[in-house]
């Protein structure tokens, strides 16, 4: 008899998590190259009842919307946006990470680094150092860096068979886990630009309203079940 309560609860748990995800999307609305996330729900069927199957709801995963955010000009020579599918490769203390946030800087020694101070690497997985007398480097669409010297460096631009398998680890970084990177054929580097987040605020706001209403209706279900039980408690002893 309490099944209705548990079904309602499973929905409320899933909805609460959904709101958490929407909240994170909206909080990161102005985060460079942030990709919006949506949960994926599935039915959880309980079949052990003799003549009825009860279906609960379970959120079993998240889906990253990998569509490209709006690319806008910043006029800053060390801002890079990637048009198309691809990631910059960054060497952090935790290992190699991937990011689409090309808001790079030069550290005091002239190395190309991210906002967190992690090294951006080239195709040979080497750090990239710039000459002070020519700090305004030029990067071509294919990632080739013109340092004004004879050295030819190329930014390591990679992609994966399945970008959904990358995990977000904060700071705009992705951890590839067991996925193997391979050179991104379609990635185009745009110097002097950044990619804004692809969060669609209108979609998020309407989703939020839907979550609230669904949550309320699940609550109605719980209330109805509760009243049913109270009635049973009241009337059943009288039938004696």
Among the residue ranges 43-51, 89-97, 137-145, 221-229, the one whose residues contact another protein (CB under 8 A): 221-229
Which parts of the chain fold into alpha helices (H)? 3-27, 201-238
H helix or E strand, kind and range, residue 88: strand 87-92
Among the residue ranges 82-90, 138-146, 164-172, 180-188, the one whose residues contact another protein (CB under 8 A): 164-172
In terms of Cβ atoms closer than 10 Å to its own Cβ (0-12, 13-18, 19+), residue 173 is buried
Q: Which residues of 40-72 are buried (b: 16+ CB within 10 A; e: fewer)?
A: ebeeeeeeeeeeeeeebbebeeeebeeebbeee
Closest separation in Å from C-beta 174 to another protein:
11
DSSP 189-211: EEETEEEPP---HHHHHHHHHHH
Q: Which residues of 85-121 are buried (b: 16+ CB within 10 A; e: fewer)?
A: bbbbbbbbeeebbbbbbbbbebeeeebbbbebebbbb
Task: Determine, following the binding rule CB under 8 A, whether residue 28 of this chain makes contact with another protein.
Answer: yes
Closest separation in Å from C-beta 25 to another protein:
8
Under rule CB under 8 A, which residues in 180-209 are in contact with another protein?
201, 204-205, 208-209
Under rule CB under 8 A, which residues in 59-98 are in contact with another protein?
59-63, 74-76
Task: Determine, following the binding rule CB under 8 A, whether residue 46 of this chain makes contact with another protein.
Answer: no
Closest separation in Å from C-beta 162 to another protein:
8
Q: Is the Cβ of residue 27 or residue 141 nearer to another protein in the bound state? A: 27
Closest separation in Å from C-beta 51 to another protein:
27
Q: Which of 6, 17, 96, 203 binds another protein (CB under 8 A)?
A: 17
Instruction: Kindly state the tokens that stand for 231.
Output: 């009635």
SS3 state at 159: strand
Question: Under the rule (CB under 8 A), what is the footprint of another protein?
Answer: 12, 15-17, 19-24, 26-32, 34, 37, 39-40, 59-63, 74-76, 101, 103, 105-110, 115-116, 130, 132-136, 164-165, 167-172, 177-178, 201, 204-205, 208-209, 211-212, 215-216, 219, 222-223, 226
């Amino acid at each position: 008899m309490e099944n209705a309560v548990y079904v309602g609860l499973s929905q409320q748990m899933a909805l609460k998590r959904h709101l958490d995800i929407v909240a994170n999307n909206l909080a990161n609305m102005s985060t460079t190259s942030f990709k919006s996330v949506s949960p994926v729900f599935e039915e959880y069927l309980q079949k052990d009842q003799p003549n009825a199957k009860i279906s609960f709801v379970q959120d079993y995963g998240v889906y990253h919307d990998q569509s490209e955010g709006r690319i806008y000009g910043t006029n800053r020579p060390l801002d890079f946006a990637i048009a198309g599918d691809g990631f910059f490769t960054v060497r952090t203390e935790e290992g190699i990470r991937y990011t689409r946030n090309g808001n790079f800087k030069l550290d005091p020694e002239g190395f190309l680094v991210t906002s967190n101070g992690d090294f951006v690497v080239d195709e040979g997985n080497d750090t990239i150092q710039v000459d002070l007398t020519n700090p305004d480097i030029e990067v071509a669409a294919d990632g080739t860096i013109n340092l004004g010297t004879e050295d030819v460096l190329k930014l390591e631009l990679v992609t994966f068979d399945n970008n959904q398998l990358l995990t977000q680890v904060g700071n705009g970084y992705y951890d590839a886990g067991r996925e193997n990177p391979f050179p991104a054929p379609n990635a185009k580097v745009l110097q002097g630009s950044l990619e804004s987040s692809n969060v669609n605020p209108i979609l998020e706001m309407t989703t939020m309203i839907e979550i609230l209403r669904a949550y309320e209706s699940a609550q109605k279900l719980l209330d109805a079940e509760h009243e049913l039980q109270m009635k049973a408690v009241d009337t059943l002893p009288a039938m004696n």
